[in-house]
Every structure is written in C-alpha cells, then in structure tokens.
C-alpha cells in the first residue's frame, strides 16, 4: 500500500477538483477497488449507478463496453476510460449483422443481449441483461423462444432454469471458459468442506459442481453472508483479493484466471485520465437512442 498511497491521494484530490466520479468493476485490483472507487459493483450495479451520477465526468474503471454503457446512459457527460484497449472476448465475438442473421433464423424471437456487447449490438437487440438478472429477463420475454447473445455458457446455464427455449450465440469469456468440472472436484478432494462458488459465464458442468452461482456482486454477497471457513471463487483473480480485505475470517483458496483486459486499468492510467481528459469514449449518435432503450428496458425489469 505504501507505493500506492501517493497515487490514491492524488486521484482522490483530482476527482473533486475535476468534478469526476470513479465507477469500478469488481475485477479491479484492490488498490483501485478499495482506494479510489466511488462506486464498485457488478455490471448491473454499475449501469444503474451510471443513471444516478451527478458529476460531469465519469472515469470508468473496467472494460470498454462498460464505458460505452455509461455514455449511452449519459450522452451529455464526459466518459473516460484509462485504457481504451480494455476489450472483452464476449463483446468482440458478435456484430449487429450477426444479430440480424439470428433474427432471420428464429423469426419473432426476442433478442436478449448481455451488457458485454458493443453499443452497435445493444442497439440491434430488444433488451439487455447481466448475469444477475438474465433469468428474470428471459422469463419476462413474450413467445416460447428467446435468442441470447453473446455468451453461450451463460445462455445454457439460463436455459437449464428457464421455461423458455433458449437459442444462443457461441461466444465465451476467456476467463471463465478455462475452468473445468474436474478442477473443481480436485479442490473438494484437496480441501474437504470447501465452499465453491462460480460465475455463470462458466461452462454448465462447472456450474453444476458449484455450491452457488451468481454475478460478481452475488458472489461477494454470498461470501459475506455465509462466511465459509474456506472458499474458492471460480472467477477473475481480483475478486478474492477484494473480498479477503473485508472478510479476514474467510480463507480464500486462490486458483483463478486473470482478465488481461480488466488488468489494463491501473492507478497510473487513472491518474493520467484525470489529468489529460483521455481517453474519451464516444458512441455514434444514431446508436445511442436504440442502445439506451435496450439498457433501460433491462433496468425497468430489474427494479
């Protein structure tokens, strides 16, 4: 923490001076999560908070689609991302033309797109979802068949609980697709009594081995409520680091996978953003309205 302290102080001072707010995803490193975030949360919480911010500038500490979502919800505000190369394997797996093709294949089916998509794909979708509201959103759609994009594993996990027929795009998260059911069984053998909690972007056989599955916020809440003696969080590495700081009584077994996109964000480039006003995130005028409709419909179903 000693080496982070000057950055944390400088960032927090500049935020006030520049009328800026820091929205940070749960996968940010602890010095960002605990040191400079005004709001930290899962994708849904960040989208909801983005509708409430009073500051003129939003510094999005997360990946590019999250910054786009904030811009879509706040076209009049300045949205900055400390490194615009912070992408997402899900968001880059699908285009609006792919959505049009799926609509043609399943006429009349509603398109539910994960927020992990570009503004263009959101604009081409009927409604968005996140991992914390996906089941409710799918269930709320008219018709027997629902198209889910772009995460094939999330879609299969939802299909296992849904009354709808779910057809899906086969995108995957590079962090969660790497976990295997065999690996989870090995944790149980090595650490008897261990609690295993997984993110629904994991393959269905991994989810089937877990004691709980939920969004990053759901996973954090589960650990804080159940306070297991030992836990494995089957997700991105910073999650255990961030929750461990708040739950010293819980022992975290830490096999995890790093998201290289999330890890592009650092205290150094957050400070750079505040100083320089870079990198500004813009969304094509024509996409803002239809993309916002899809995000706002999601928030309306959730609230």
Report, in Å, the least distance between residue 172 CB and ligand 13P. 11
Decide which of ligand 13P, ligand SF4, none touches 216; Cβ closer than 5 to 8 Å per partner kind. Answer: ligand 13P
Cβ proximity to ligand 13P, 35 vs 200, nearer residue: 200
Collapsed DSSP state (helix, strand, coil) of residue 60: strand
What is the smallest separation between the CB atom of 257 and ligand SF4, expressed in angstroms?
8
Tell me how far, at minimum, the Cβ of 80 lies from ligand SF4, in Å: 18
What letter would DSSP give residue 126? S
E strand spans, the chain: 20-25, 39-41, 57-61, 78-80, 110-114, 127-129, 145-149, 165-168, 195-198, 212-213, 230-234, 251-253
- Closer to ligand 13P by CB, 109 or 117: give it: 117
Q: Is 281 helix (H, G, I), strand (E, B) or coil?
A: coil
Least distance (Å) between residue 86 CB and ligand SF4: 8
Of 40, 39, 29, residue with least CA distance to 7: 29
d(CA 50, CA 201): 23
Distances from the Cα of 9 to the Cα of 103, 171, 267, angstroms: 50, 40, 11
- Quick one: 62 or 228, whose CB is closer to ligand 13P? 62
Question: Are 267 and 32 within 8 A, CB to CB?
Answer: yes
Question: Which residue number, 243 or 274, has a Cβ lying nearer to ligand 13P?
Answer: 243
Q: Residue 11 and residue 185: Cα distance in Å, rounded?
A: 43
Total residues binding ligand 13P (CB under 6 A): 11
- Measured CA to CA in angstroms, residue 73 lies from 49, 180, 299 at distances of 10, 37, 11
- Contact status: 42 vs ligand 13P (CB under 6 A): yes
Q: Which of ligand SF4, ligand 13P, none has residue 89 at its interface (CB below 5 to 8 Å by kind)?
A: ligand SF4
> Between residues 18 and 240, which has the closer beta carbon with respect to ligand 13P?
240
Enumerate residues 214-253 that contact ligand 13P by CB under 6 A: 215-216
Which of ligand SF4, ligand 13P, none is residue 177 near (CB under 5 to 8 Å by kind)? none
Q: With beta carbons less than 8 A apart as the criterion, state whether 115 and 130 touch.
A: yes
Closer residue to ligand 13P, CB minimum distance, 42 or 209? 42
DSSP string across 63-95: -HHHHHHHHHH-TTSEEE-S-TT---TTGGG--
Binding site for ligand SF4 (CB under 6 A): 63, 88-90, 116, 173-175, 236, 259, 261-262
Q: Which does 78 bind (CB under 5 to 8 A by kind): ligand SF4, ligand 13P, none?
A: none
C-beta separation of 88 from 116 below 8 A = yes
Q: Is 29 in the site for ligand 13P (CB under 6 A)?
A: no
Binding site for ligand 13P (CB under 6 A): 26, 42-44, 116, 130-131, 173, 201, 215-216
């Amino acid at each position: 923490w000693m080496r982070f302290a000057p950055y944390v102080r400088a960032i927090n001072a500049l935020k006030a001076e520049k009328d800026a707010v820091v929205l940070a995803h749960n996968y940010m490193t602890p010095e960002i999560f605990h040191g400079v975030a005004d709001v930290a949360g899962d994708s849904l919480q960040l989208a909801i908070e983005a509708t409430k911010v009073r500051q003129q500038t939003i510094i999005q500490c997360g990946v590019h689609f999250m910054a786009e979502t904030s811009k879509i919800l706040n076209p009049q505000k300045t949205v900055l991302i400390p490194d615009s190369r912070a992408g997402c394997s899900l968001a880059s797996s699908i285009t609006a033309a792919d959505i049009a093709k799926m609509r043609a294949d399943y006429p009349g089916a509603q398109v539910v797109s994960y927020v992990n998509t570009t503004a263009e794909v959101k604009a081409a979708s009927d409604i968005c979802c996140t991992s914390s509201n996906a089941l409710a959103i799918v269930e709320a759609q008219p018709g027997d068949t629902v198209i889910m994009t772009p995460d094939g594993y999330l879609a299969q996990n939802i299909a296992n609980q849904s009354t709808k027929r779910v057809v899906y795009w086969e995108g995957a998260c590079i962090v969660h697709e790497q976990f295997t059911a065999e690996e989870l069984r090995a944790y149980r053998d090595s650490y008897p009594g261990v609690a295993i909690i997984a993110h629904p972007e994991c393959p269905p056989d991994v989810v089937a081995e877990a004691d709980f599955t939920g969004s990053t916020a759901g996973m954090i809440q589960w650990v804080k409520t159940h306070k297991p003696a030992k836990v494995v969080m089957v997700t991105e590495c910073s999650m255990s680091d961030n929750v461990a700081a708040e739950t010293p009584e819980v022992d975290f077994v830490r096999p995890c996978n790093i998201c290289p996109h999330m890890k592009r964000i650092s205290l150094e480039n957050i400070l750079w953003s505040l100083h320089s006003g870079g990198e500004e995130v813009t969304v094509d005028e024509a996409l803002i309205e239809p993309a916002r409709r899809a995000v706002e419909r999601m928030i309306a179903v959730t609230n």
